[in-house]
């Protein structure tokens, strides 16, 4: 069994807390490694390292930092298959999906390499007699990221890539469920030329999170996970005087209008609802067909496609999706399926009891479909985070629009239609942070920003894009007057821009 480590000041460090967690291969349902859970002292050592490295890294000119980031990208690409296999073996998503996880993270690091342009300040000449004003964007210092199990490459790269590009140093606390890829990414960052301590990885649980929040040298915290924890971390970080961007749960809807291409819509729902076993914060978990005729036709098309899905080993190229991440996740999802049936939803396809030959202990949950779901049911209100798709029938467009707009979560939403007026009205009025028009998973590309509304996000600035640079930098404004513009004698009035 592999014994994993922390990565502090450019070196693998054995855990000293005496506490560990088992890492599972979800296909086999067996322990594949043990990961140490950091003590308060170990987190402090990682922050010490980042603090020491900050002076050197922040002094590197932005263009050279960008070159190092691009070297990091090159190394990640060289090792992409290795990283994807490790990711699949610990998370359960398919090999191709794992490569996509890595690619979407790499794209944000590539965007970060353009930071020299984005970090430019402003300049105003002669704002008063002989006086000029300019602004600077400067890094915050040591910043931290607390990232989830479902994207063990993408989200660490989203957070660290932008923070490092801005000149900060970074302490990453990844999920203890699948820590191998974040550790390998830190190794490759060091190989790319980042000074020791620029990117540290500490594995851990709540103790590690609390240590990062309470350390006054950590100036900003980014988190992705469940809404209750996001809200808790946001509140604690803000109370400690830190910047925080904390992203929580989701219940993403897809509205299907009567004029939509139903084959396109059904294909989109299958991929967006069941891909990665539904363990995506942007997964579509609610289909909203408008009108009974649309609902009946869509249901038949979904059933035909679900019957052809293959649930199987992550590295088997014929698998459409693999297992869920753990036995606890499997139990939770199956409890939701039972609750939905008990509450009166029609269980059209039951994903419980899936058997995968040769892998009897894997954490398997098959594609599940509910119809006639209503907004008062738990399977509609709460995030299931599994391969469960609910059909909520809407009588008309206005009823369909209200469902995502009035839901507690506001992460992502999609509408499928051929009508431009309908799409334009929907994108303008829907109360959700990210919207797709005939795009089922509207994750913005790297130079736009990612973030949900309502209980899906806490904080004023979102992830990556220009918001990411603003979050990880502070603005300094400098007013300058040289002797030729000075008047003799003291002035006791507020300076005016005249």
pLDDT in tens, 313-334: 999 999 999 999 999 999 999 9
Q: 120-143 as b/e, with b when 16 or more CB fall inside 10 Å? A: eeeeeeebeeebbbeeebbbbbbb
Cα 364 from Cα 351, distance rounded (Å): 9
Looking at residue 29, its pLDDT comes to 97
Residue 33 maps to a domain: yes
Task: Verify that 228 and 354 share a domain, yes or no.
Answer: no
Q: Which residues of the chain have pLDDT under 50?
A: none
Catalytic residue of the set 281, 283, 365, 384: 281
Residue 493 lies in a domain: no
How many domains does the chain contain in total?
A: 2
390 catalytically annotated: no
Asked if residue 488 belongs to a domain, the reply is: no
Residue 466 structural domain = 2-248+456-478
Residues 172 and 96 in one domain: yes
User: Percent of the chain, pLDDT > 70?
Assistant: 99
Query: 385 and 264, same structural domain?
Result: yes
- Asked if the structure places residue 372 within a domain, the reply is yes
- pLDDT tens digits, 392-446: 999 999 999 999 999 999 999 999 999 999 999 999 999 999 999 999 999 999 9
Same domain, residue pair 193 and 309: no
- Examine residue 395 and state whether it is found in any structural domain, yes or no: yes
**Whether 270 and 154 share a structural domain:** no
Q: Are 283 and 273 in contact (CB under 8 A)?
A: yes
The CATH number covering residue 171 comes to: 3.40.605.10
Question: For residue 302, what pLDDT is reported?
Answer: 98
Query: Domain for residue 421, yes or no?
Result: yes
Question: Quick one: 309 and 374 in the same domain?
Answer: yes
* Domain match, 383 and 342 both: yes
pLDDT score of 484? 72
Give me the CATH number covering residue 318: 3.40.309.10
Predicted pLDDT of residue 485: 59
φ/ψ (deg, to 5) at 374: -120, 155
pLDDT of residue 426: 98
Q: Residues 19, 36: contact at Cβ < 8 Å?
A: yes
- Tell me if 105 is assigned to some domain: yes
Residues 215 and 144 in one domain: yes
Are residues 347 and 395 located together in one domain of the fold? yes
pLDDT for res 492: 78
Cα gap 92→72, rounded to integer Å: 25
Let me know whether 152 and 195 are in one domain. Answer: yes
* C-alpha of 103 from chain center: 13
Per-residue DSSP letter, 321: B
φ, ψ dihedrals at 181, nearest 5°: -65, -45
The tokens of 318 are what? 């014929």
Q: Maximum Cα–Cα distance for the chain, whole Å?
A: 90
Q: Which pTM value belongs to this model?
A: 0.95
Same domain, 460 and 426: no
Within a domain: residue 215?
yes
Report pLDDT for 493.
Answer: 78
Same domain, 321 and 179: no
């Amino acid at each position: 069994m592999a014994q994993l480590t922390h990565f502090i000041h450019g070196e693998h460090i054995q855990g000293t807390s005496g506490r560990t967690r088992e890492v599972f291969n979800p296909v086999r349902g067996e322990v594949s490694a043990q990961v140490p859970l950091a003590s308060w002292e170990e987190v402090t050592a990682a922050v010490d390292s980042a603090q020491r490295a900050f002076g050197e890294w922040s002094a590197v000119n932005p263009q050279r930092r960008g070159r190092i980031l691009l070297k990091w990208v090159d190394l990640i690409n060289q090792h992409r298959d290795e990283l994807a296999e490790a990711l699949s073996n610990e998370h359960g998503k398919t090999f191709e999906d794992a490569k996509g996880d890595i690619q979407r993270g790499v794209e944000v690091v590539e965007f970060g390499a353009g930071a020299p342009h984005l970090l430019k300040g402003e300049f105003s000449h002669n704002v008063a007699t002989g006086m000029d004003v300019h602004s600077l964007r400067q890094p915050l210092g040591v910043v931290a990221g607390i990232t989830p199990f479902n994207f063990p490459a993408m989200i660490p790269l989203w957070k660290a890539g932008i923070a490092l590009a801005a000149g900060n140093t970074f302490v990453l606390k990844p999920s203890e469920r699948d820590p191998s890829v974040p550790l390998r990414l830190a190794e490759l960052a060091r190989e790319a030329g980042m000074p020791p301590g620029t990117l540290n990885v500490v594995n851990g649980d709540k103790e590690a999170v609390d240590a990062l929040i309470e350390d006054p040298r950590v100036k900003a915290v980014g988190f992705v996970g469940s809404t209750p924890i996001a809200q808790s971390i946001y509140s604690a970080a803000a109370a400690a005087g830190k910047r925080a961007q904390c992203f929580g749960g989701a219940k993403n809807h897809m509205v299907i209008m009567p004029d939509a291409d139903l084959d396109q819509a059904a294909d989109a729902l299958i991929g967006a609802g069941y891909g990665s076993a539904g363990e995506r914060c942007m997964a579509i978990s609610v289909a909203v067909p408008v009108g009974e005729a649309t609902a009946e036709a869509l249901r038949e098309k979904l059933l035909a496609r679900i019957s052809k899905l293959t649930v199987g080993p992550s590295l088997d190229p014929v698998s459409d999706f693999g297992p869920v991440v753990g036995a606890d996740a499997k139990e939770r999802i199956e409890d939701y399926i039972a609750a939905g049936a008990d509450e009166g939803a029609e269980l059209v396809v039951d994903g419980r009891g899936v058997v995968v030959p040769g892998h009897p202990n894997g954490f398997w949950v098959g594609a599940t479909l509910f119809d006639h779901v209503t907004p008062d049911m738990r399977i509609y209100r709460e995030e299931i985070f599994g391969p469960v798709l609910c059909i909520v029938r809407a009588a008309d467009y206005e009823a369909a629009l209200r469902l995502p707009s009035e839901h507690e979560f506001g992460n992502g939403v999609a509408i499928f239609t051929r009508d431009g007026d309908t799409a334009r009205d929907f994108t303008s009025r829907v109360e959700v942070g990210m919207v797709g028009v005939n795009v089922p998973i509207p994750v913005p590309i790297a130079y736009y920003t990612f973030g949900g509304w309502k209980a899906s996000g806490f904080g004023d600035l979102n992830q990556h894009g220009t918001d990411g640079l603003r979050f990880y930098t502070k603005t300094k404004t400098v007013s300058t007057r040289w002797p030729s513009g000075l008047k003799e004698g003291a002035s006791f009035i507020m300076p005016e821009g005249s």
